[in-house]
Amino acid sequence: MLDQPTATAPNGGAQFFDALGDVTSDSLLALIAMANADPRPDKIDVGVGVYRDGAGNTPILRAVKAAERQLWETQETKSYIGGFGDRRYTELLRPIVLGRHAADDRIVGLHTPGGCGALSLGFKLIATAHPDAKVLVGTPTWPNHIPVIGAAGLKIAEYPYYDRLETRIRFDAMMAALNGASVGDVALLHGCCHNPTGADLDEGQWAQVVEVVARQGLIPFVDIAYQGLGRGFAEDAAGLHLLLDACDEVILSQSCDKNFGVYRDRVGSLFIKTARADQSKRAMDHVVQIAREMWSMPPDHGAAAVRIVLEDPALRSDWDAEVGEMRDRVNRIRGRIAAADPRLAYIGEQFGMFSMLPLTVEQVRGLRESHAIYMADSGRFNVIGMADGAIDRFIAAIVEAMNG
Ligand SMILES: Cc1ncc(COP(=O)(O)O)c(C=O)c1O
């Protein structure tokens, strides 16, 4: 009988993985774990970024369920799909995302694993073209933007975006920062439903941002992850369309995970616009190569379901109605919170799933301990994260916290 190897024998010198330090995990993931572990039955988890209906569930949309049934019955192979993923899915998204620019052949799209996959590919493409490029990122922004940009090896500079205590966009400071940026700097902008603040640029502000981006020769990178959940599909992409009017070079990361409710299926896309169709095609060839090194090709199932919804007029109109229901629910709850206290009135003027409360970290933690209400330490909360029955209790608790 062979000797058993000793379990502790190092392959070489020190234990190889001792070199790893502790991970500072994404604080939102840690918050979700904490909320899940709380045994209090009336806990309210407004930390995680998913839609919840009146009963507090995150349902599969009717149209998506029907499309998945069709897919199950008709799909004949699960053979490899190729680097571009589902090309028909990306085609069908064009009118929704690009609007009047849908037929522009200088804009080329690719199916990605969620919005995160699109962000990652977009920034890695920038790093491939210009390893020294700098990305201007609004403060605050969605926390995962920073590590994704960092992982691409790009430099990051901040521009002021929102004053949490004053509950308004720091527009003059933002414009000053963009005016001071250099040709070739990348400006990351949220298309709509700003995460974490809910504070979107209005039409006049978008026009000024577009003007400075074009004048300074900046490369706009638009992240649009919540289209349809703010004001409507066209309205939510209006700023993006103005940028496409004015700029020859635009990068756009998009997610269907929220507006189709397919979060775990990882459905997104990346669109690149350059000055010429052949240049855009070449850029996309690079993107496909970069994806090949990471995940090779995107997962098929969710995008196939989205494709079926968008191809079938009845499912398409049911999906429109369902997104309308989600949007109305978001805006109804915003109205209820805004009406509860003049200090919360700003929440009725913001859009999408998130807003920030002007609370201190101690107040946020107090809500967690005394009321089992879970939100990010920054005061960011998911407006539609709670069931109908929890809304009054949530409002009473935050007003109590604001009163100190
Ligand atoms: C601003 C923003 N961009 C991108 C994403 C990524 O979305 P996905 O889940 O499709 O990767 C999110 C998700 O929370 C987001 O809030």
* pLDDT per position as a tens digit, 93-143: 999 999 999 999 999 999 999 999 999 999 999 999 999 999 999 999 999
What was the pLDDT predicted at 141?
Answer: 97
> d(Cα 171, Cα 208) in Å, to the nearest integer?
10
Residues 212-235: pLDDT tens digits? 999 999 999 999 999 999 999 999
| 102: annotated active-site residue | no
Report phi then psi at 2, rounded to 5.
-70, 145
Confidence category of residue 87, pLDDT binned at 50, 70, 90: very high
pLDDT in the model for residue 30: 84
Mutate which of 116, 294, 382 for ligand 1 pocket (most atoms within 8 A of beta carbon) = 116
Segment 260-278 mean pLDDT = 98
Tell me if 236 CB under 6 Å of ligand 1. Answer: no
pLDDT above 60 (res 191): yes
pLDDT of residue 12: 64
Task: Summarize pLDDT for 288-301 with one digit per residue, the tens.
Answer: 999 999 999 999 99
Condensed to tens digits (0 to 9), the pLDDT of residues 337-361 reads 999 999 999 999 999 999 999 999 9
Give the per-residue pLDDT at 404: 82
User: For 137-174, b where at least 16 C-beta lie within 10 A, e where not — what string?
Assistant: bbebbbebbeebbeebebeeeebbbbebeebebbbeeb
> pTM for the full model?
0.94
Verify whether ligand 1 is closer than 6 Å to residue 226 (CB atom): no
pLDDT confidence of residue 27: 76
Does residue 26 surpass a pLDDT of 80?
no
Looking at the predicted structure, is the pLDDT value of residue 401 above 70? yes
pLDDT at 1 over 60: no
| 118 CA closest ligand 1 atom index | 11
Q: Which atom of ligand 1 is nearest to 266's Cα?
A: 10
Catalytic residue among 63, 152, 187, 225: 225
The DSSP bridge partners found for residue 254 are 224, 269
Q: Which of 12-26, 81-95, 153-167 has the lowest mean pLDDT?
A: 12-26
Percent of the chain with pLDDT strictly greater than 90: 91
pLDDT at 334 over 90: yes
> Reduced to 3 states, what is the DSSP secondary structure of residue 71?
helix
| Per-residue confidence band for 10, with pLDDT thresholds at 50, 70 and 90 | low
Q: What is the mean pLDDT of residues 26-48?
A: 89
281 in catalytic set: no
Catalytic residue among 45, 200, 223, 236: 223
Catalytic residue chosen out of the listed positions 67, 86, 142, 401? 142
Task: Give mean pLDDT, residues 23-33.
Answer: 79
Which of 14 and 91 is assigned the larger pLDDT? 91
In the residue annotation, 258 being an active-site residue is answered as yes
Separation of alpha carbons 370 and 183, rounded Å: 51
Round to whole Å and give the CA distance between 56 and 98.
33
Does 195 sit in the ligand 1 pocket, CB within 6 Å? Answer: yes
The Cα–Cα gap between 155 and 144 comes to 15
Instruction: Give the closest residue (by CA) to ligand 1 atom 6.
Output: 115
Window from 2-11, 35-44, 111-120 with minimum mean pLDDT = 2-11
Can 319 be counted among the known catalytic residues?
no
Using one digit for the tens of pLDDT, what is the confidence trace for 249-267? 999 999 999 999 999 999 9
Ligand 1 neighbour 142 (Cβ under 6 A): yes
Ligand 1 close to Cβ of residue 257 (< 6 A)? yes
How high is the pLDDT of residue 382? 97
What pLDDT, on the 0 to 100 scale, is given for residue 14? 74
Closest C-alpha residue for ligand 1 atom 15: 225
Q: Which residues contact 343 (CB under 8 A, 6 or more apart)?
A: 358, 402
- pLDDT at residue 7 in the model: 58
Which residue puts its alpha carbon closest to atom 5 of ligand 1? Answer: 115
User: Ligand 1 centroid vs 28 CA: distance in angstroms?
Assistant: 13
